[in-house]
Amino acid sequence: MKKIVFLTGTRADFGKIKSLLQILQDDEDFEPHIFATGMHMIEKYGNTVIEIEKCGFKNIYQFINHTSEASMDLTLAKTVEGFSSYVKRIKPDLIVVHGDRVEALSGALVGSLNNILVAHIEGGEISGTIDELIRHSTSKMSHLHYVSNELAKKRLVQMGELEESIFVIGSPDIDIMFSDTLPSLDLAKSYYDIKFEEYAIAMFHPVTTEFESMQEYADEFVDSLLEDSSNYVLIYPNNDLGSDAIFKAYQRLEGNSRFRIFPSVRFEYFLTLLKHAKFMIGNSSAGIRETPYYGIPAVNIGTRQQNRALHASVINTDYDKKSILKGINQAMSSQPIKEDVGFGTGNSAKSFLDSLRENKVWQLSNQKQFLDL
């Protein structure tokens, strides 16, 4: 039996790996483990490790990696220390990390330096800010790559990764997006006490490389929401450097009946709410990746998703109020445009499992080779 550790630090990356965990838990050849850290362990964000436990997963290990300072380098260091101790104790055959967070880079570093195979989910993509540096660094420290599409595969090959180590499986969250087990809209609204008939979803995250301007950006964002007349389901930002500026701006929304504000929303419930929203606004990757599948317009603000694949339903704006309000008006008047945006068809988990059943995966050398083009 192969022992596989999944490292998760946020509500978002857990949503991406959940279907992969589920399919392995139901297979007698694999023993999945979860190392839960990051935002999952912060009370301010709802202690979302509880949601992982509610899913019925076994072998969940909890580790607090946040420090007194909102510093990504200290978070990286503390995660490496904690995860290193953990993997030396349980001795996994494979470590699975996702995306572009410092927790993912920590997992890849620990695995590669301890001669443990590392699989990276959704590498080979491009975006703005520090995320791109972390994502590419994580890919270079990983041995296996499970990517969303052929373009991501091409980029990894361009980075010197061996083609036989790259598997195109789509984006795993698509599996859940199109599952027949999502809660109904009535249930989702009841669970979160949302009384709005119509609403938009707002998610605005800090841009770490533009830290000095984050208070200005956050204030412009809140000014725009207050001037607009829509109802909003607003979800807290992630805990990257600059989040304090966003929380300070959000204080002006407290007590306003047009806003329901949540530290976090369970992934399946979030998808149901997104599917029925008038539009989405902010700078979350969900506005680029998920909304086109549901035909929901997305107002994408600023540079955080720069260079991501953009689609007809995505409306790009600058950070200033005038530009944001123009984007909102455009979203409100848009007709639904459902698009297959090239992140898979909902069979990522099966493709992932099939690859792990192949001997060639387990025969990959810990000593990586660089492919010259």
How many domains would you assign to the chain? 2
Report the alpha-carbon distance of residue 198 to residue 370 in Å, rounded. Answer: 52
Report the alpha-carbon distance of residue 280 to residue 323 in Å, rounded. Answer: 15
Report the alpha-carbon distance of residue 192 to residue 268 in Å, rounded. Answer: 13
Residue 346, SS3?
A: coil
Q: Which residue has the tokens 């572009």?
A: 100
Question: Does some domain include residue 340?
Answer: no
Q: How many other C-beta atoms are found inside a 10 Å radius of the C-beta of residue 98?
A: 29
Question: Does some domain include residue 150?
Answer: yes
Nearest to 293 by CA among 178, 181, 180: 178
Question: Does some domain include residue 370?
Answer: no
Question: Does some domain include residue 338?
Answer: no
Report the alpha-carbon distance of residue 341 to residue 293 in Å, rounded. Answer: 7
The amino acid present at 134, given as its one-letter code, is I
Report the alpha-carbon distance of residue 146 to residue 280 in Å, rounded. Answer: 28
Question: Does some domain include residue 306?
Answer: yes
Start-to-end CA span in the chain (Å) = 37
pTM metric for this prediction: 0.91
CATH number of the CATH domain containing 242: 3.40.50.2000
Any bridge partners for residue 281, and if so which? 202, 299
Question: Does some domain include residue 339?
Answer: no
pLDDT in tens, the chain (373 residues): 999 999 999 988 999 899 999 999 999 999 999 999 999 999 999 999 999 999 999 999 999 998 766 688 999 999 999 999 999 999 999 999 999 999 999 999 999 999 999 999 999 998 877 888 999 999 999 999 999 999 999 999 999 999 999 999 999 998 999 888 899 999 999 999 999 999 999 999 999 889 999 999 999 999 999 999 999 999 999 988 899 999 999 999 999 999 999 999 999 999 999 999 999 999 998 998 889 889 999 999 998 887 665 677 899 999 999 999 999 999 999 877 776 667 777 899 999 999 999 988 999 888 888 989 8
Q: Exposure string (b/e) for 181-197, b if CB count within 10 Å is 16 or more?
A: ebbeeeebbeeeebebe
Query: Quick one: 11 and 156 in the same domain?
Result: yes
Which residues are within 8 A (CB) of 133 and not within 5 positions of it... i.e. 6 or more apart? Answer: none
* Full DSSP string of 118-152: EEEES-S---SHHHHHHHHHHHHT-SEEEESSHHH
The pLDDT of residue 69: 61
Q: Quick one: tokens of 264?
A: 């976090």
Query: Quick one: 143 and 222 in the same domain?
Result: no
Query: Quick one: 166 and 303 in the same domain?
Result: no
Query: Quick one: 19 and 89 in the same domain?
Result: yes
Interval 247-300: pLDDT, tens: 999 999 999 999 999 999 999 999 999 999 999 999 998 998 889 889 999 999
Per the structure, the complete domain to which residue 106 belongs is given by 2-177+346-362
What letter does residue 253 receive in the DSSP assignment?
G
Question: Does some domain include residue 367?
Answer: no
Query: Quick one: 197 and 322 in the same domain?
Result: yes
Query: Quick one: 55 and 195 in the same domain?
Result: no
Query: Quick one: 173 and 30 in the same domain?
Result: yes
Query: Quick one: 148 and 231 in the same domain?
Result: no
Q: What are phi and psi of 40, to 5 degrees?
A: -60, -25
Query: Quick one: 45 and 190 in the same domain?
Result: no
